[in-house]
Amino acid sequence: MRDPDLKRLKKSEPRPGSLAKKIVVAVIAFLAAAGITVVLLLFFSGICHIDRVEVIGAKNVDPGKLRKLSGVDGHTNLLTLPSDEIAANVEKNPWVKDAKVEKDYFHTVRIKVTERVPIALLNIKGTGYLVDRQGFVIAGCDPAQFQSLPHVHGGDSKSPQVERMLPNGRLREAAMILGAMTPAIRETVGIINPYDGRGNVMVSRDGFQIVYGEREESGRKNEVLEAIVADIKSNARRATYIDVRVPDSPVVLLH
């Protein structure tokens, strides 16, 4: 006959795996509680509160204006800050080519700006416009300003819209020609006229003409032009004009 006490003892013993299940449940409950605690701390405490906003890279536009345009001040928490939306807002300023938003946990937002660089001043009937190397109109300006930039002769063209690409193909090509030049060569150009019958014709700051033609082979034309100008300067010569329309057979007329 079996001992009834032994039978009761066996029934009271924990079943295999029951302890492990209890441990798993306890761990899950702990992790859930910890997760809720973390979420509450991140969203409802001051741990991720935005205390500082930095605008980096703005030279031609007031950083304060970019901050206001971004809309960042309408947000208080780094985690919920819509970075893409903030960057897109900043890029609405015509000076801004690209904007990136970084979150420096736990309290700082950095808006990094890449500005458009004006490479020429378009002059249309006495009104000036700053344009970049792609022919994007950055801003209007006084033609008497920015004398260090080459001027693009606008002729009788219609005034372009700021914050838009130049609609006139000839003017846009002139800007792109200047944009493809090295700074050393571009700085020698005083004015470029895209309406000359020979194509794009420039007048240097030293007074000689540069007959450039169309934008095709601009890379090769720029190499040849740079070499010729360097030779003229190093030998103290004076040129009347330089024709690089056929870059492998340039024509140079000296005084």
Question: Cβ–Cβ contacts within 10 Å for residue 60, how many?
Answer: 14
CATH number at residue 227: 3.40.50.10960
Residue with tokens 């030049």: 181
In angstroms, the CA 4 to CA 47 distance is: 63
Domain that holds residue 88: 52-115
For residues 124 and 249, state if they share a domain: yes
For residues 98 and 136, state if they share a domain: no
> Can you give the pLDDT at residue 81?
84
Condensed to tens digits (0 to 9), the pLDDT of residues 50-68 reads 788 899 999 999 999 999 9
Residue 43 lies in a domain: no
Percent of the chain predicted with pLDDT > 90: 67
CATH number at residue 93: 3.10.20.310
More confident site: 150 or 25: 150
129 falls in which pLDDT band (50, 70, 90)?
Answer: very high
Residue with tokens 């002139």: 174
DSSP character at residue 181: S
> Can you give the pLDDT at residue 40?
43
For residues 191 and 158, state if they share a domain: yes
For residues 159 and 250, state if they share a domain: yes
Assess whether pLDDT exceeds 50 at residue 85: yes
Nearest to 219 by CA among 194, 196, 247, 195: 247
Assess whether pLDDT exceeds 60 at residue 173: yes
> Can you give the pLDDT at residue 11?
53
Would you state the structure tokens that stand for residue 132, as one six-digit string? 């970049």
For residues 164 and 124, state if they share a domain: yes
Q: What is the 3-state secondary structure (H, E, C) of 43-109?
A: HHCCCCECCEEEEECCCCCCHHHHHHHHCHHHCCECCCCCHHHHHHHHCCCCCEEEEEEEEECCCEE
Condensed to tens digits (0 to 9), the pLDDT of residues 189-244 reads 999 999 999 999 999 999 999 999 999 999 999 999 999 999 999 999 999 999 99
